[in-house]
Amino acid sequence: MTMRNKYRKPTTFHCNAGSRCSPSAVVWSLVGFLLFLHLYSLVSHNGGKGGDVQLHTSHHTLFRELEEVEEETIQIPPPKGKRSPRAAKRRPKRSTTLIDEFLDENSQLRHVFFPDMKTAIDPMNDSGNDSLNYFPGRIWFDTEGNPIQAHGGGILYDESSRTYYWYGEYKDGPTYHAHKKGAARVDIIGVGCYSSKDLWAWKNEGIVLEAEEANETCDLHKSNVLERPKVIYNEKTGKYVMWMHIDDGNYTKAAVGIAISDYPTGPFSYLHSKRPHGFDSRDMTIFKDDDGVAYIIYSSEDNSELHIGPLTEDYLDVTHVVRRILIGQHREAPALFKYQGTYYMITSGCTGWAPNEALAHAAESIMGPWETMGNPCIGGNKMFRQTTFFAQGTYVFPLSGLPGSFIFIADRWNPADLRDSRYVWLPLIVGGPADRPLDYDFGFPVWSRVSIYWHRKWRLPSGWRGLK
């Protein structure tokens, strides 16, 4: 069922500046006042940048339909009888919750979270009307009919080939536990790469950074951990640079790895790993700013805080500059993006493979201070919103030509069979005042709200210029 967002006021104000917005004087004057404050803050954020402030009220009508929310009504099956002993053991006294069902590989609701092969998205089979549609959580075939293996990934738009590249963990191997208390894992196979012209039909470009089979002292030895690979292009050196989380099987190494290639499709040469700025580093991402400066953001101090700092000009190392942000907030899986001069970030909590609540953060300067705005998820149902739609973010990709519109890319991890983890792609829109008053703004929201809208099925606007 699709209905208009009923959780809060519309996130955009569909009226031209100052004209014909007559009714409900009180509400509108309040809204106008908030909008004024918000615009004022936008203008002051953008001061000195040529004054080309684009009002978020104008953001693309093509995307408006994606701000309608879809509801999910899911009946939890009765706890007795058919309930698997595993789920019963996990929560012996309470009735089962949706999250228990999600984590229970024998749940009768399994198909809700992990729809079977029959519903797979197949870009080579256009017999239905599903072409170019995203179905979060379904199996997604590449152009050869194999499930895409690009977990914890990110997208690079390559200007020279006008092609999108999707890099991620290639996890098409058996899931096992290395020892009793070890987390579910798949041996390193490598970093998978897929190319596309439309962000929907993806061609497998192969494994662009491969695991090492024999030499156990190598970072890329299969017994180790390689997570969250991200690739950016360096204009100055003409190299494609990959950063990733490198760890041993027990997550004690806590380092980053760097690899480099002349081509987006690799092969990438692995350079080395290091602890950035001397700190432990687990979930991480890199972000390339408009001015060409790239930054690394990583969870540190045992995931209790994030660190952020610029890379060197060649993107192959960190500099000595680093800031601690979101201290004591225990966030991971950072995904950073920028809109109208403001930096935004989505993070997750730290609960292993189990899903948890996402938070959106914003900052005027990428080095901070960063402020937490709250949960960006809208639609589905309460449990969907509290679990980031049963997924964990990994990347936020801007849709050029659609200001304020992004794709939120997340992983629905399947700890019982990690290779069968699913992708959750959803529209992310920046616009409208934030829900929650923040610390030092006298109770008025300063940042635009970040909203991720749940959809069972959606597609990019057909007029979007990236689709050609």
Ligand X SMILES: *[C@@H]1O[C@H](CO)[C@@H](O)[C@H](O)[C@H]1NC(C)=O
Binding positions for ligand X, rule: CB under 6 A:
125, 127-129, 179, 215, 217-218, 248-250
- Provide the sign of the torsion angle of the four alpha carbons 114, 382, 331, 427, taken in this order: positive
CA distance 285 to 333: 8
| Cβ at position 411, least distance to ligand X in Å | 24
Q: What is the DSSP letter of 268?
A: P
Nearest to ligand X of 115, 249 (CB atom): 249
Supply the minimum distance, in Å, between the C-beta of residue 115 and ligand X. 13
Phi, psi angle pair for 157, to nearest 5°: -95, 120
Give 120 or 438: the residue with its C-beta nearer to ligand X.
Answer: 120
* Contact call for residues 52 and 99 (beta carbons, < 8 A): no
Alpha-carbon span 190 to 187, nearest angstrom: 9
**Least distance in Å: CB of 436 to ligand X?**
41
Question: Most distant CA pair in the chain: distance in Å?
Answer: 73
CA distance 343 to 14: 25
Q: Give the 3-state secondary structure of residue 172.
A: coil
Whether 160 and 140 have beta carbons less than 8 Å apart is answered as no
**Distance (Å, rounded) from C-alpha 61 to C-alpha 402?**
9
Nearest to 369 by CA among 455, 447, 465: 447
CB of 345 to ligand X, least distance (A): 32
10/23 Cα distance (integer angstroms): 16
Between 77 and 249, CB nearer to ligand X: 249
Q: Which of 174, 182 has the CB closer to ligand X?
A: 182
| Complex with ligand X: residue 73 or 217, whichever CB lies closer | 217
At closest approach, how far in Å is the CB of 250 from ligand X? 4
CB of 143 to ligand X, least distance (A): 13
How many angstroms separate the CA atoms of 245 and 286, rounded? Answer: 11
Q: Please provide the DSSP assignment of 361-430 as one string.
A: EEESSTTS--EEEE--EESB-HHHHHTTTT-EEEEEEE-TTSTTEEEEEEEE--TTSGGG-EEEEEEEEE
Residue placing its CB nearer to ligand X in the complex, 85 or 128 = 128
Closest CB to ligand X among 55 and 120? 120
DSSP at 230 = E
Is the separation of the CB atoms in 184 and 260 below 8 Å?
no
Residues 297, 287 contacting (CB under 8 angstroms):
yes
Q: In this complex, which beta carbon is closest to ligand X, that of residue 146 or of residue 250? A: 250
Q: Residue 240's closest CA among 210, 209, 212?
A: 209
Q: Are 414 and 184 in contact (CB under 8 A)?
A: no
Smaller CB separation from ligand X, 184 or 218: 218
Quick one: 106 or 125, whose CB is closer to ligand X? 125
Using alpha carbons only, give the angle 98, 384, 91 rounded to the nearest 5 degrees.
25
Least Å distance, CB 126 to ligand X, is 8
User: Cβ distance 416 to 442 under 8 Å?
Assistant: no
Residue closer to ligand X by CB (options 143, 237) is 143
The residue written with tokens 């004209």 in the block is 19
